[in-house]
Structure 1
Amino acid sequence: MKVDVAQLKLLTEHRNIHIPLLDHMNFRHCPDAEGGPGNIVMQVDARHVNSLGNTHGGVLMTILDVVMAFNASQRDEQKRACVTIEMKTNFLSPGGMVGDLIEAVGCVRRHTRSIAFCEGEVRNAAGEVVATASGTFKYVNRQRTPAADV
């Protein structure tokens, strides 16, 4: 993966939404050359690792959840938000260490007016799949929340 993370917008800037957790995680939007929703990349730092020095499983689950919901939202003609109904994750190998880049890719397998069925995977800097997930997401209308006022 050859990406200059510093040149990529924060995911929340790209989507013009305010989600403090995503800013804290430093998720970046990596545009798709074919005009699709794109991927999410993150440079692993000390906040993201477990006691073994590898990317924490919770971080991998979070980036998978976000990339699947991001793809589902982009497929919705009304551009509604998505909330996770359920998610299953498989961890295949360590995700990376401090300084490494990881990339999450998502896709929508099927969607209805109210629900999207998605899959995602996380790849390490060598391009190896380190985690996969499937999830079901419900489309919801955006409502004003305290986070939106920050």
Structure 2
Amino acid sequence: MTDLLDGEAPSGYQELLGYRLSRWEEGLAEMELPLTAAHLNRAGVVHGGVLMSLLDTVSGFSVTFCPVEGRLRRAMTLSLSTSFLGQARDGTLVATGRLRGGGRKIVGAAAEIRHRETGALLATSEGMFKYRPGSENREGIER
């Protein structure tokens, strides 16, 4: 499998949740999360915080793709509006984020999470993100 993070080590939060970046290109990102008991709430369904984390993270990736090898882009979340639409107890979640547009420093992204096995739509979001200094440029910054 191709290393979509170009050698960058997984974050502690990525290791904690267990998601994997499965697709990353200009304006689009996709992540997968196989559900375990650690992702479930007291009712036995995936916790809303897990869904929000995936929506936020995949949105951030969708706005920070850098086509220049060895360089990167970073952004921070300014706002994230989320709608919970379904539940899952097991299987794999697939989160997809898309750059919606914006200006030079602040951009919008939309994301959704579907249950891979059933195709059910579980959650959606709209968010605004601000590029960190230097990341406004498509060429990114040095690692």
TM range (shorter): 0.7 to 0.9
* Structure 2 spans left out of the alignment, 5+ residues: 135-143
Higher helix residue share? 1
Distance 1:46 1:82, change over 3 A: same
1:24 to 1, 16, 39: 16
Alignment of 1:40-119 (within 5 A): 40-74=31-65, 79-94=72-87, 96-98=88-90, 100-119=91-110
Shift of residue 38, structure 1, vs aligned partner: 3.6
Q: Which amino acid aligns with 2:57?
A: V
Residues 14, 29 of structure 1: 8 Å contact kept: no
Runs ≥4 residues deviating over 6 A: 75-78
| TM-score, reference length from structure 2 | 0.79
What CA distance in whole angstroms lies between the structure 2 residues aligned with 1:8 and 1:102? Answer: 20
* Structure 1 spans left out of the alignment, 5+ residues: 1-6, 143-150
Q: Which amino acid aligns with 2:123?
A: A
Task: Please say if 1:133 is aligned against 2:138.
Answer: no
Q: Which amino acid aligns with 1:63?
A: L
What CA distance in whole angstroms lies between the structure 2 residues aligned with 1:75 and 1:132? Answer: 25
Q: Give the count of matched residue pairs.
A: 130
Shift of residue 127, structure 1, vs aligned partner: 1.1
Higher strand residue share? 2
Q: Alignment identity in percent?
A: 27
Q: Which amino acid aligns with 2:82?
A: T
